[in-house]
Amino acid sequence: MRSRPDTETILSRPPFSGRLTIDGIAPLQGGESGRTFRISEGTRQYKLHRAASRLAAIRIEKRARRFARLLPTLIGRDGRYLLFEWVDGHKPDIPCDPRTAFLVGQFCGEVHAAGIGCRMDPDRYFAKRLARIPDELLGTADKERIRLTYTRLRAGLGLECVVGISDLHPHNFIEDGRGGLYLVDEGAISPEIKGRAFIKAFSEWIAPDARDAFWDGYTTRHANGYFTAQYETVLSLVEAIRAIDYRARQGLPPSRLQREREIVASLCDLEAR
């Protein structure tokens, strides 16, 4: 039996029925796929977020209210649904310009400055993702060398796990054309190894000539002394393993994992395959 499309499911039992009449609905691309929608009521538009559960929605609501300056206005929550004001604008440029890098750095620093801890164990986080990678991508001997390299690099470092912006990607931000920047993937405020998301951003979005601007913004809210060269090296290995694991589970071919595999081979003195 064919399942009903998400939009039909929502329209059959619309949330916020006491305060909102949904005239139109369309799923959004990017962000949390299948969980965010653009809806309209007459000429007004909103963003609707359908969380995985009511508990997940409550968590997102608390974080959205805590960091309200960073996100579009949260109108309210109805069960597992959250309703936000719609922001018209455009995605930031790639590579990131220094002004935007400064603002993104401020966002990250503000969330880290809140000091919201979490129970994530960085060593288990790494080990779980390494173990899940298929043997045809990384064999048993390679995984053991990677594990030993991680242990050596991590020695003496405090890898703090906190709530941060865990996915720094231009698709998760909107510039409104009036100087305002908004984080539009509210689910990205979530537990992370502190600073892990910076590694992906620095390699794919925030180029070296904008990195100083990022740190200038970050340090207006939070100190960055923890992010030493050794710390960055460990997180580079963690992020590469995370990316290989994630993309392999998405069914992507080995050619789409080549850059991350080369990073791991270089850090762990493996023969690149």
Average pLDDT on 217-246 reads 97
Helix (H), strand (E) at residue 174: strand 173-175
pLDDT of residue 1: 37
Does residue 173 carry a pLDDT above 60? yes
Identify the CA nearest to 188 among candidates 206, 212, 164: 164
Same CATH fold assignment for domains 6-85 and 98-268: no
DSSP one-letter code for 188:
G
CATH architecture of 6-85: 2-Layer Sandwich (3.30)
- Cβ atoms of 93 and 215 closer than 8 Å: no
Distance CA(269)–CA(26), nearest Å, equals 48
Does residue 34 carry a pLDDT above 60? yes
pLDDT of residue 130: 97
Tell me the pLDDT tens digit for each residue of 139-166: 999 999 999 999 999 999 989 999 999 9
Encoding tokens for residue 149?
């390299």
Distance CA(22)–CA(3), nearest Å, equals 22
Let me know if domain 98-268 sits in CATH 3.90.1200.10.
yes
Coil, strand, or helix at residue 85? strand
Q: Residue 5, preceding bond cis, omega within 30 degrees?
A: no
- Domain parsing of the chain, residue ranges: 6-85, 98-268
Predicted confidence band at 4 (pLDDT cuts at 50, 70, 90)? low
